[in-house]
Amino acid sequence: MDLWFTERYPQGWGITFKIERSLYSGKSRYQRIDVLETAGHGRLLVIDGCVMFTEADEFVYHEMLTHVPLFSHPNPKRVLVIGGGDGGAVREIVRHSCVEEVVLVDIDEDVIKVSREFFPSVSCELDNPKVQVLAEDGVRYLESCPPKSFDIILVDSTDPVGPAVGLFEKPFFEKCFRALKRDGIMAAQSGSPYFQLDLVGRVHRTVAQVFPAVRTYIAGTPSYGGLWTFVIGSKNGDPAQGPIREDQLAVSDLKYYNYEVHKGAFALPNYILREIGKQEK
């Protein structure tokens, strides 16, 4: 049988994978979750028809969501991940030996369960003693945690539809700001610069209303159809100045991130600069 899965983007464009078989399909309280075995990219996690990652290229997204903010902070000890129930971001965070505690808050416990069962190479650090896994609403968690609780907050959400809508709005970023310590940094996935350019601009400008330093950065993520953007808000330094920690080599076997990639990720094409309201150079 010739079976293909396509994520359909609104503009009549699709990202397609050849599928060997379906391993799991279920409806959680919040969303539909599918695990597919692809012919060439390992296993694929799909939520509500959107590609979350493939085993073949998840390293790009997870390394860039985590290591850019973590190496931009002088001494990150407490890290909060909102969403990211698959555990990919957590796996990267615990590579930093200075990190003492990671709290993962994903609203959907089925995502966590499915990742534990079908993606051991992604969920592998969820049982690390430094990691606390909570299946609850990240917004409510932020509201209830004391101010200045975390050094880093990472938002590893799905697209702004369904349960993730609130994670792209100003009140949410204000809650992140409140929960961050003095040198605190927040980073979030902020969409495709090609398919969701308006979202990229909107999220950047919204974060800029809350954090004194805001930047958008990019990485090449094949399974999301090309480039992907992340927004980073900092209470103190400018993450685009490059990594400020000198212990990069302490984090070994990185497949994507290095110090040059860190700096280069902040070099944006003009069409993105225009959308976020920054000067072309």
**126-145 residues near ligand AG3, rule: CB under 6 A:** none
Q: Interface mask (CB under 6 A) for ligand AG3, residues 239-278, using x and -?
A: ----------------------------------------
Q: Is 158 near ligand AG3 (CB under 6 A)?
A: yes
Q: Which of 51, 70, 104, 105 binds ligand AG3 (CB under 6 A)?
A: 51
The enclosing H or E element of 66 equals helix 58-71
What order of strands is seen across the sheet that includes strand 43-47?
3-9, 13-27, 32-38, 43-47, 50-54
What does the chain come to in residues?
281
User: Which has the closest alpha carbon to 23: 41, 1, 46, 2?
Assistant: 46
Binding-site size, ligand AG3 (CB under 6 A): 14
Catalytic residue among 156, 183, 198, 247: 156
Strands (E), the chain: 3-9, 13-27, 32-38, 43-47, 50-54, 78-83, 101-105, 131-134, 150-156, 180-191, 213-221, 226-234
In 3-state terms, what secondary structure has residue 56?
coil
Q: Is 206 near ligand AG3 (CB under 6 A)?
A: no
Q: Which of 34, 92, 159, 275 binds ligand AG3 (CB under 6 A)?
A: 159
Q: Is 53 near ligand AG3 (CB under 6 A)?
A: yes
Q: Is 50 near ligand AG3 (CB under 6 A)?
A: yes
Catalytic status, residue 156: yes
Q: Is 86 near ligand AG3 (CB under 6 A)?
A: yes
Tokens read off for 147: 């101010």
Alpha carbon 9 to chain centroid distance?
20
Chain residues that interact with ligand AG3, rule: CB under 6 A: 7, 50-53, 84, 86, 88-89, 156, 158-159, 189, 224
The catalytic residue positions are 156
